[in-house]
Structure 1
Amino acid sequence: MIKKIDSNTMGKKNVGWLKSTFHFSFDEYSNPDHNNFGVLRVLNDDIIQPNTGFDKHPHSNMEIVTYVIDGEISHADSLGYKRTLSRGNVQYMGAGTGVNHSEYNLSNESVRLLQIWIYPDIEEREPDYGDFRFDPNDRKNKWLHIVSSKEGDAPVKINQDVNFYVLELDENLEINFNLGEGRQAYLVQIEGTSIINQIDLKPKDALEIIEDSINIKSTKPSHFIIIEMKKS
């Protein structure tokens, strides 16, 4: 089963310094038919203006992954970590029993990133942090496995049975992605345009995929993320 989620139907917020597209219910945006997709609870496409950002605030009992699309984001948290990440880099925060963090764009260019929240396998774990800087060539015209469970083999490991893959596909190239029995995935067209199983996708559109295989053909240079998980 494959279902398209058109970005025009998603939640939107623009408060000047922050412009967001909400794939699922978040903040003032409520969509009872789209609160989550399996263990995927939040996927926000955020654009943060220069010299602004999220002041220090708390989280708990959520696995939080940030994927940077453009620009640089500077992170600081109550665990003592301070990092600045750029395009293609991944940041992970296991909020567990509680952690405070801030995220700032300290540059003169806007930042675009995906903020992704995953329900943990067990609540009240000790908080954790990690990040990884990937070689962009490793996602060029091939799937790059960036996030897995703690038992998986991706560089970034979180407390849930999920896998994140990213891909940058040159124009007019094709690639497949196959889901096994009992698995589902959420795909986002981050940049560019494509045709997937005869479905046209534009930037920020998404697909829900359940126990199915897809063929992707890029009609413009394209950038994708897939979040694969156990079928709910």
Structure 2
Amino acid sequence: MIDSKAKVEIRPFASLGGANHGWLDAHHHFSFANYYDPDRMNWGSLRVWNDDIIQPQTGFPPHPHSDMEIITYIRTGAITHQDSLGNKGRTAAGDVQVMSAGTGIRHAEYNLEDEATTLFQIWIVPKRTGGAPSWGTKPFPKSDRSGAWQVLASGFDEDKDALPIRTDARVLGATLKAGESLSYQVGDRRYAYMVPATGVIEVDGQRANARDGVAITAGTITITAVEDSEIVLVDSD
């Protein structure tokens, strides 16, 4: 059994770690790189949630990863991906790419646009280590998630329209117009972490502004949009 009311903790954007490298202005919801907070190491199997602004004609040069599910949600602009498997692709605002690092992959992510790209980079620990690396991208029109949850990436077979990830987690998105409400139930022994990409919301009466983090434990939450809002949520074990 789970409590009907979830526990909700708002983590203001101003409280996040981060660093401005000029070409990259990064904000970290969890300990990452030179930012370390023992109370913000992870949330369930969610290990990284970075809020990045990448300047035009710059980006991340080739670098390696292994044994991590890396989901990139593009907020504005676009990102162009290249990797050691020969994959190349451009992912635009509102769309998602997934890289399962598996036994190892090298990749580069460049903003080849004439405007800054803003994105969420989300890392989730895989259920099993190893396996062949892979990459994929998919468009997700925002109209398809107006007033409702849409599963963007998932490790569950029933989510056939989502990008696959190798972990017992889901990445979901929703858009709400001001005054609209939406509920979400977090299962027993599950963890949810939500960020409004844009807008202002209330979560069980607690206000969360754009780019604030919302950490949620088991139970049901009600989200009400104070302003038109775009929401991303990760539900993991």
TM-score tier by shorter-chain length is over 0.9
User: Among residues 126, 129, 135, which one is paired with 2:132 in the alignment?
Assistant: 126
1:62-106 deviations in Å (ceiling 9; x for gaps): 111101110011000001110001111111111111100000011
Does residue 188 (structure 1) correspond to residue 195 (structure 2)? The answer is yes
Deviation at 1:181, TM superposition (A): 2.4
State the distance in 2 between where 1:134 and 1:36 align: 27
For 2:201, the aligned partner's letter is S
User: Among residues 82, 90, 97, which one is paired with 1:84 in the alignment?
Assistant: 90
State the distance in 2 between where 1:150 and 1:228 align: 12
Does residue 136 (structure 1) correspond to residue 142 (structure 2)? The answer is yes
For 2:83, the aligned partner's letter is D
State the distance in 2 between where 1:16 and 1:152 align: 42
1:16-54 deviations in Å (ceiling 9; x for gaps): 111111000011101111111111000001010000000
Deviation at 1:119, TM superposition (A): 0.5
For 1:142, the aligned partner's letter is A
- Contact 2:170–2:235 (8 Å) recurs in 1: yes
User: Among residues 179, 186, 191, which one is paired with 1:179 in the alignment?
Assistant: 186
Matches within 5 A, 1:5-154: 5-153=11-159, 154=161
TM-score by length of 2: 0.94
Deviation at 1:175, TM superposition (A): 1.3
- Contact 2:194–2:233 (8 Å) recurs in 1: yes
Deviation at 1:150, TM superposition (A): 4.9
State the distance in 2 between where 1:38 and 1:181 align: 12
Percent identity over the alignment is: 37
State the distance in 1 between where 2:34 and 2:191 align: 28
Please report the RMSD computed on the Cα atoms of aligned residues, expressed in angstroms.
Answer: 1.1
State the distance in 2 between where 1:197 and 1:37 align: 20
- Contact 1:2–1:212 (8 Å) recurs in 2: no
State the distance in 2 between where 1:205 and 1:143 align: 19
1:176-207 deviations in Å (ceiling 9; x for gaps): 11123232211111111111111011111111
Query: Counterpart of 1:160?
Result: 167
State the distance in 1 between where 2:113 and 2:120 align: 18
1:91-144 deviations in Å (ceiling 9; x for gaps): 111111110000001111000011111101111211111111112211112111
Query: Counterpart of 2:3?
Result: none
Structure 1 alignment gaps of length 5 or more: none
Does residue 202 (structure 1) correspond to residue 209 (structure 2)? The answer is yes
Structure 1: 4+ residue segments shifted above 4 A:
none
State the distance in 2 between where 1:102 and 1:82 align: 10
Structure with more relative contact order (C-alpha pairs < 8 Å, separation 6 or more): 2
State the distance in 1 between where 2:75 and 2:181 align: 22
State the distance in 2 between where 1:194 and 1:2 align: 13
State the distance in 1 between where 2:156 and 2:136 align: 12
Aligned length: 230
Deviation at 1:227, TM superposition (A): 0.4
- Contact 1:189–1:224 (8 Å) recurs in 2: yes
Query: Counterpart of 1:170?
Result: 177
For 2:184, the aligned partner's letter is F
State the distance in 2 between where 1:180 and 1:50 align: 41
State the distance in 2 between where 1:135 and 1:79 align: 28
